[in-house]
Structure 1
Amino acid sequence: MEHTDFFKVDFWEMIIRTTVAFLVLLILARFMGKKQISQLTFFHYVTGITIGSIAANIAGESETPFMDGLVAMIWWAVLTIVMNYIAMKSKKARILLDDKPIIVIRNGEIEEEALGKARLDLNDLNMLLREQSIFSIKDVYFAIFEVNGTLSVMKRTGLENATKADVKASTKQPKYIPTEIISDGELILENLSELSLTEQWVDEQLKKQGINRVDQVFYAEIQGNGELHITKKVEKNN
């Protein structure tokens, strides 16, 4: 009789713990946003696993103090939200948390030093290319190893998947790789340097589009033909 009563108490305790952990996890996932759920970077991947593990311990381990586990899960989520906010406001923090994309193939040539920084070997690189149905490096114009571990590829002109617009397309190689040069009102000097562009050139391009200051631009990206694609900052009404 005593054994049966103990089983009932333990059973309902697990049901309650699991239900509460599930609801709290659901709420935390909503607050942490879609970026956390999609696990875009290693940081978000690790955070997602950790919070899930804490929730599993709360639900399935009766030895784990319920409130201690709940506080740990909520606090971990709060730290994640705070770090995401800091990363949004600070480029240095964003690089620290998420790292930054690395160009591993430039103008059809493999960047050996960049491969080392990305901790990729040639077998890894070829595997990532084959996943995009590219079996020869010579078919690649640029390849960028993204912060989420995927490879973004720009094929050589003439080798892209055909579209209706490609019927009369030029086979001339693009002048630039599309690159971010303004982020949240600030020039990305490192990218300008890699593209051999100057701040004066950027100012001239902005003025052509009726923009007098860099801080009026939310995002600007140079296109393959040298033109700027610009998104202006939204003016806030006081």
Structure 2
Amino acid sequence: MIFFKTVLAFLLLLILARLLGKKQMSQMTFFHYVTGITIGSIAADIVITDNGSIIDEVIGLVLWCTLTALLSYGTLKSAKLRLLVDGQPTILIRNGVLQKKSLKSARLSIEELSMMLRERNIFSIQEVDYVILEPNGRLSVLRKQSNLNLTRADMDIPTSNPKYLPLQIIVDGKIIYKNLKSIGLSIEWLEKELEAQKINNISKVFYAEIQSDGSLYIAPC
């Protein structure tokens, strides 16, 4: 019996996945992600159910996929419905400036944003002009034009290793002491850098980051 149910669930998933299309399989948004999990859960119930009948589970699976397909079709026809179901992109950095309200609405911390940028081989926020959080939770990044020019290697110019690995020094007005200590810099150095940029109170700094050349990038509150 379990062999029959497994084969049936497999064939149903294969057929329904083809009907739903590549958009569902790619799990483009949170809605598609949840739908994919639900479909898998119902298919698992078909295999493990032991009440002797799997009609209810099969009907539930087909109905769920039908509703998903209808909703996907509706989002193609209605911009408002598409916005309701899929959401819209959120600009986290605009013209090189961190957007605090956008980070808050996306429930994303500076640390999480930095991690996601490092996954894109971007180790400093100062390297980018725009960062957009897409509805599927991934980042789209537009680098600054100065970072798209020819590299030193392209022009056969001697290069040197960076002085520092870009690190967070201040987040939400609070000093990250362990990062400051790890690169051998003191509080006095930080205070001088802030004074040089006419900032006399750390609480006025939303985000500060040490650059690879030793300079300090500051995003004020």
- Give the TM-score range, shorter chain: 0.5 to 0.7
Residue 25 of structure 2 corresponds to residue 28 of structure 1: no
Letter in 2 for 1:93: L
Query: 1:137: which partner in 2?
Result: 125
Kept after mapping to 2: 8 A contact 1:143/1:151? yes
Specify whether residues 98 and 64 from structure 1 end up closer, same or farther in structure 2 by C-alpha distance, changes over 3 A only: farther
Q: 1:161 to 1:89 in 2, by over 3 A?
A: farther
Matched residues in 1 for 2:53 and 2:147: separation? 60
* Post-superposition offset of 1:130: 0.5
Name the counterpart of 2:82: 94
From the superposition, tell whether residues 65 and 35 of structure 1 become closer, same or farther in structure 2 (CA, over 3 Å). Answer: same
Query: Measured at CA, do residues 47 and 70 of structure 1 come closer, stay the same or move farther in structure 2, by a change above 3 Å?
Result: same
Aligned to 1:63: 51
Runs of 4+ in 1 over 2 A off after TM superposition: 160-163
Q: What is the letter of the counterpart of residue 45 of structure 2?
A: N
- Which deviations, in whole Å up to 9, do the C-alpha atoms of 1:96-139 show, x marking residues without a partner? 11110010000000000011121111111111111101111111
Cα distance between partner residues in 1 of 2:83 and 2:103 = 18
Show structure 1 runs of 5+ residues with no match: 1-12, 168-238
Deviations 1:150-177, CA, capped at 9 Å, x for gaps: 01000000213859xx98xxxxxxxxxx
CA displacement, residues 166-194 of structure 1 (integer Å, 9 cap, x when unaligned): 98xxxxxxxxxxxxxxxxxxxxxxxxxxx
Q: Which moved more, 1:58-67 or 1:86-95?
A: 58-67
Gaps of 5+ in 2: 156-221
Write the distance in 1 (CA, Å) between the matches of 2:26 and 2:146. Answer: 33
| TM-score scaled by length of structure 2 | 0.66
Aligned residues: 153
Residue 160 of structure 1 is matched in structure 2 by 148
1:35-46 pair list within 5 angstroms: 35-46=23-34
| Amino acid paired to 2:128 | V
What's the RMSD between the two structures over aligned residues?
A: 1.8
Higher RCO, 1 or 2 (CA under 8 Å, sep at least 6)? Answer: 2
Percent same amino acid at aligned positions? 48
